[in-house]
Amino acid sequence: MNSLSFLDVDPSILKTEERIIVAAIKVFAENSIHAATVRMIAQEAKVQASSITYHFTTKENLYQEVIRRILHYASTSILHYVESPAQPLTLKSARKELLSMIEKLTDWHYGSPHIVTFAKIISREHFSPSPVYGIIYNEFFSKAIARMTTIVHCLIKGNNKVDKGREAALQTFSIFGQIFGFRLQREMLVRSLGFTGFSADEIAEIKDLLLRNISRQLEVTL
Domains of the chain, each with CATH number or no CATH: 5-61 (1.10.10.60), 71-218 (1.10.357.10)
- 70 contacts 122 by C-beta, under 8 angstroms: yes
- Does residue 6 or residue 3 have the better pLDDT? 6
Give dist(CA 204, CA 183) in Å, integer: 14
Give dist(CA 214, CA 131) in Å, integer: 34
Give the per-residue pLDDT at 27: 96
Give yes or no for residue 112 having a pLDDT over 50.
yes
- What's the N-to-C CA distance of the chain in angstroms? 38
Q: Give the residue from 119, 140, 126 showing the smallest Cα distance to 186.
A: 119
Q: Is the pTM of this model over 0.75?
A: yes
Q: Kindly give the residue spans of alpha helices, DSSP state H, lying in the chain.
A: 16-30, 38-45, 49-56, 59-78, 91-111, 115-127, 133-136, 142-155, 164-184, 186-193, 200-218
